[in-house]
């Protein structure tokens, strides 16, 4: 330590493949938080709906786009400044429900596939059980 630095000679750390893969797999197959995913898609849907409505109001060529037909599906929506707020509300609501449902379906699919993989592995381990008795 002549120059004032502290050096430690640490032994070389070796990790098994399993120690490296398991945390990555747990992260890749983690459950999605349904409400958080719903809010994220809801905000994106609200911004998209508001942006499209404002574009139809501000850009002269966009006024020919038949966006007013969305008023048939979304109560209170029109191509107006009030319609921007109403459209953003509807955009958030519809996108939230869609995002929540997508997260639910993904979590369900992962749970079912994990159950099937685990069950097959357990059956494979016990397949030759009676041969050893």
Euclidean distance between CA atoms 56 and 68, whole angstroms: 10
Instruction: Give the domain range for residue 63.
Output: 33-125
Residue 84 lies in a domain: yes
Residue 72 lies in a domain: yes
Residue 11 lies in a domain: no
Angle between helices 81-126 and 34-58 (to 10 degrees): 150
pLDDT digits (tens, 9 = 90+) for 14-47: 777 777 888 888 888 889 999 999 999 999 999 9
Residue 53 lies in a domain: yes
Residue 8 lies in a domain: no
Residue 95 lies in a domain: yes
Q: Which DSSP symbol is given to 63?
A: G
pLDDT at 109: 95
Going by pLDDT thresholds of 50, 70 and 90, the confidence category of residue 3 is low
Sign of CA dihedral 94, 95, 98, 101: negative
Residue 40: CB partners within 8 Å, gap ≥ 6?
A: 99
pLDDT digits (tens, 9 = 90+) for 40-71: 999 999 999 999 999 999 988 877 889 889 99
Euclidean distance between CA atoms 78 and 69, whole angstroms: 8
Residue 25 lies in a domain: no
Euclidean distance between CA atoms 28 and 32, whole angstroms: 10
Task: Check whether 80 has a pLDDT greater than 60.
Answer: yes
Q: How many domains does the chain contain in total?
A: 1
Residue 12 lies in a domain: no
How much is the pTM?
0.75
């Amino acid at each position: 330590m002549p120059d004032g630095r502290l050096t430690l000679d640490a032994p070389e750390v070796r990790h098994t493949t399993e120690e490296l893969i398991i945390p990555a797999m747990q992260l890749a197959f983690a459950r999605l938080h349904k409400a958080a995913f719903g809010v994220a898609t809801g905000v994106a849907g609200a911004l998209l709906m508001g942006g499209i409505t404002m574009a139809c109001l501000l850009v002269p060529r966009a006024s020919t786009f038949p966006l007013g037909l969305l008023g048939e599906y979304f109560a209170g929506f029109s191509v107006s400044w009030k319609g921007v707020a109403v459209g953003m509300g509807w955009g958030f609501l519809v996108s939230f429900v869609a995002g929540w449902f997508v997260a639910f379906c993904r979590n369900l699919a992962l749970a079912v596939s994990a159950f099937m993989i685990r069950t097959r592995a357990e059956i494979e381990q016990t397949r030759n059980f009676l041969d050893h008795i």
